[in-house]
Chains A and B, each alone.
Chain A
């Protein structure tokens, strides 16, 4: 994976020193809170309900062993022994003290981690495919392009004060594991008929109070022109984005107001003005970045491991784990292992320090030193030999990390909600737990199949409820926690925004309603349909009828 060079390291050290000085001045009263707040936010430090929260960037979701161990150490030393993985491949620590933060940033910088651009109206951490470099589905390694965007966008002077935050996702597989279509800019790397690499560029996707699926503004942008084209998009947005109204300031509102065609025309016009030689990545630099992602250490193995096949035949728990949490690797004899952070009594996305250390040890021993974070709040060991799957499964199981539920009904996305977040209207975590409790039986969960439930504690939609097959949105109804259900959303390549099921439900009615929705689906589904497919075929009516017949 990419290693920071001397310039990267110097930037982090300088930034950390700068923030240390700012914290000293704040504590001494030389800076007011109004002056300090934007500075701490630029370093990922929010004040939430119970404490400060530090959001650490994990660029394109890739971590090495030393980084995972350092995150575990920070969790243990400065937090309450755990961290929370978010829907943008970041990690948050929820019990941070302001006075400790400079030391934490130093500790992060020592392993090439930081919290820069995890808040504020700038280009945020780039999301990418957690299977990058491991899946045969991809046409190129999206990390190469993600890293180029990271370098370009880090402390970019022109784009540090945008109208609003700006999120980019990059995928190079037809199967989208990045929610590219609901990002401000989604980039899908493809080869055209001539074999040339290019990006489908989508702009104006987003969730929050006004959800939109991104519009394609260029079908095939030559890959090497990426940075100048992004610059053109950002310039048009920077010029015309609605700075007067925070609710209308995201690029999605601009694209919707202008129309995708007109927005694209303006971007193209701007692009023509840009000096490509200055703006685009030099070939040599691209080659240098690319070389950093050549995976060392993959051995030439037989495509099928007899030992593994025998273990799987003899061990039904392993077989179930493999069915749900293990995927094909591009290299014969290897596999991609999804590590579930969705045990049934767990907080979705939370990993404690002991678990992080188990993951680090397993990555070191069995996954060529790599760990990935998914936007669905799970982790990935991307390069595991089939021969080692049993050992990895047993070690994960011992740490509570082998729940065989990836993409199943209990693999629920939930934001921290009102339990932690200052913006939330309602809790999300207990709702996720109450739903998961109903699908403890792994056979039932497997029978239901792929079903993505996503829960947000407020309309800001950090829990991606708009694109849940079943979305759950916490609302404040006369001071009580109520939940608005939506059906038919998807954040994948078949992206869509969910439609409202009906009146909001009381907290204790949500899990029973999910039960009802699942029962209707099981009753109506035709050969091999997912929940989403059945909903798309039948429409809302049978689901709505059943839920409100039961609830009232």
Chain B
């Protein structure tokens, strides 16, 4: 298992609730568009900016990303579900658009609990 630092920044849009990923200068709907941080200072700085966007997003946090056999994907199964949508309704959620990036995410193997999300759960 690689110890390489690789993170993406995710949140939910305040007004809509949709899952989004930070993409350099805007929030993107798809994980494929997410900016990947290989430097922890840059990631933490982006997180601080996101947390200040109190009228735009809620629950911003960093997620671990790694090569998952079919491309880069969130390490945590929970985060892959957030990036795709529910497995019982394949036409709901982000997976509905289909395409290669979605197929790669769906095929990603392995699972681990998201460290960022765990903090949120503890707070509930």
Contact = CB atoms under 8 A, between A and B. Distances in A.
Interface in A33-70: 33, 47, 49-52
Given A26-B14, A27-B14, A419-B81, A47 B54 contact: no
B76 A80 contact: no
A96 B17 contact: yes
Contact of A479 (B17, B76, B87, B88): B76
Contacts of A96: 17
Given A97-B17, A98-B15, A50 B85 contact: yes
A134 B54 CA distance: 52
Interface in A151-195: none
Contacts of A515: none
Nearest to A433: B88
B120 A422 contact: yes
Interface string A424-440: 01010110010000000
Interface in B72-124: 76-78, 81-82, 85-89, 92-93, 110-113, 117, 120-121, 124
A49 B81 contact: yes
A99 B55 CA distance: 12
Interface of B is mostly: loop
Contacts of B54: 29, 32-33
Given A347-B88, A427-B87, A49 B19 contact: yes
B112 A479 contact: yes
A32 B15 CA distance: 13
Contacts of B19: 49-50
B16 interface: yes
A476 interface: yes
Nearest to A427: B87
Contacts of A85: none
Contact of B77 (A95, A420, A423, A481): A481
B59 interface: yes
B30 interface: no
B17 A98 contact: yes
A480 interface: yes
Given A28-B55, A430-B88, A479-B113, A49 B82 contact: yes
A42 to B, nearest CB: 15
B32 interface: no
A430 B87 CA distance: 8
Among B12, B15, B86, residue most surrounded by chain A Cβ atoms (within 10 Å)? B86
A429 B93 CA distance: 16
B54 to A, nearest CB: 6
A47 B81 contact: no
B112 A51 contact: no
Nearest to B117: A422
A418 interface: yes
A97 B16 contact: yes
Given A51-B18, A429-B88, A479 B111 contact: yes
Nearest to A419: B86
A29 B78 contact: no
A476 to B, nearest CB: 6
Contact of A481 (B85, B111, B117, B124): B111
Nearest to B92: A80
Contacts of A33: 14, 54, 58
B89 to A, nearest CB: 7
A423 to B, nearest CB: 6
Contacts of A423: 121, 124
A481 to B, nearest CB: 7
Contacts of A425: 113
A51 B16 contact: yes
Interface string B13-40: 0111111000000000000000000000
Given A418-B81, A419-B88, A479-B112, 19 more contacts: A47-B58, A47-B59, A51-B12, A80-B89, A97-B16, A98-B14, A98-B17, A347-B88, A418-B78, A419-B81, A422-B121, A425-B113, A429-B86, A429-B87, A430-B88, A433-B88, A476-B113, A479-B76, A479-B110
Interface of A: 26-29, 32-33, 47, 49-52, 80, 95-99, 347, 418-420, 422-423, 425, 427, 429-430, 433, 476, 478-481
Interface of B: 12, 14-19, 54-55, 58-59, 76-78, 81-82, 85-89, 92-93, 110-113, 117, 120-121, 124
6 contacts: A26-B14, A32-B54, A50-B82, A97-B15, A347-B88, A422-B117
